[in-house]
Amino acid sequence: MQESWIEKFRGLNSLPEEIRSELVEGSDVVSVPAGTQIFAPGQTADNLLLLIDGTVRVQQRSDTGREIFLYRVHAGESCVLTTACMLAFEDYAAEGSAETDVTAVAIPRATFDGLIARSPVFREFVFAAYSRRITDLFTLIDDIVFQRMDVRLASRLLELAAGGQVVRATHAVLGTELGTAREVISRTLSEFQRRGWIEQSRGEVRLIDEEGLAYLVKSSGS
């Protein structure tokens, strides 16, 4: 029962029994409330986090004071950037915060180091997580540069709704989420509404015609 969380992480399933218990013994399951700062520049992180439940939002605070959303860590994923934090990197401005209440496995540096040294499976898990992050950033860059705003917004709405009909977010939040201005979101949403794809009320967007949104996304070669 205690070690059942391992099942949530594909890539850890095949850990040999001995390593598996070393991992469980040497780490803690922690819970943090929504809004908690997970890592930030200057703040030394001593744990690698594996998310069991909830999401962590990683964003960059720009020199100019503006913020840009980078990616979201979901349950079943690990928050590899904290390892960068462990190395106490000088010049980075990314920060991670709990977007919802979060339950996670915290692997302290010592345990992490030991597992990396001893288990090829664990190594592969960690490297895969890193690589995944990097390739995700590649597609993000590709999107930012080549994809139209309306397509990106439509796609993000579908993603945030997660199968449901409602997205609770202000225009300003959607703006930082896509790295654009609130006005652009307002105008694009008006257009979506005009086409009957969504309905709006203060702080929320209701998806009426997901087909329409999905068609927009699909039609533009993404």
Q: List the one residue from 184, 208, 214, 222 that touches DNA (CB under 7 A).
A: 184
Residues 117-176 that bind its own copies (CB under 8 A): 117-118, 120, 123-124, 127-128, 130-135, 137-138, 140-142, 144-146
Residue (of 49, 55, 45) closest to 102 by Cα position: 55
Identified binder of DNA from the candidate list 183, 211, 215, 218, rule CB under 7 A: 183
Q: C-alpha dihedral over 43, 137, 185, 162, to 10 degrees?
A: -90
Full 3-state SS string of 106-164:
EEEHHHHHHHHHHCHHHHHHHHHHHHHHHHHHHHHHHHHHHCCHHHHHHHHHHHHHCCC
> Is 5 in contact with 49 (CB distance < 8 Å)?
no
Figure out which of the listed residues 6, 86, 181, 208 binds DNA, where binding follows CB under 7 A: 181
Q: From DNA, its own copies, none, which one binds at residue 156 (CB under 5 to 8 Å depending on kind)?
A: none
Whether the CB-CB separation of 193 and 200 falls below 8 Å is answered with yes
Cβ nearer to its own copies, comparing 1 with 87: 87
Provide CB contacts within 8 A for 107, sequence distance 6+.
23, 26, 27, 47, 48, 49, 50, 115
Question: Binding to DNA by residue 186, rule CB under 7 A?
Answer: yes
Count Cβ atoms below 10 Å from residue 154 Cβ, excluding itself.
Answer: 25
Query: Is 170 a residue that touches DNA (CB under 7 A)?
Result: yes
Pick the binder of DNA from 97, 103, 176, 180 (CB under 7 A).
Answer: 180
The single-letter DSSP state of residue 6 is G
Whole-number Å distance between alpha carbons of 154 and 55: 21
Phi, psi torsion values for 112, nearest 5 degrees:
-55, -50
Question: Looking at 5-13, 122-130, 131-139, 146-154, which segment touches DNA (CB under 7 A)?
Answer: 146-154
User: Is 62 or 165 the residue whose CB approaches its own copies more closely?
Assistant: 62
- The one of its own copies, DNA, none whose footprint includes residue 116, by CB under 5 to 8 A per kind, is its own copies
Q: Which of 118, 187, 210, 222 binds DNA (CB under 7 A)?
A: 187
Task: Choose the stretch contacting its own copies; rule: CB under 8 A; options: 2-10, 15-23, 56-64, 187-195.
Answer: 56-64
- Contact between 201 and DNA by CB under 7 A: the answer reads yes
Residue 124 CB coordination number (10 Å): 13
- The distance of closest approach from Cβ of residue 204 to its own copies in the complex, given in angstroms and rounded to an integer, is 26
Shortest gap between Cβ of 25 and DNA (angstroms)? 44
Question: Using CB under 7 A as the criterion, which residues of the chain lie in contact with DNA when the complex forms?
Answer: 145-146, 148-150, 170-172, 179-184, 186-190, 200-204
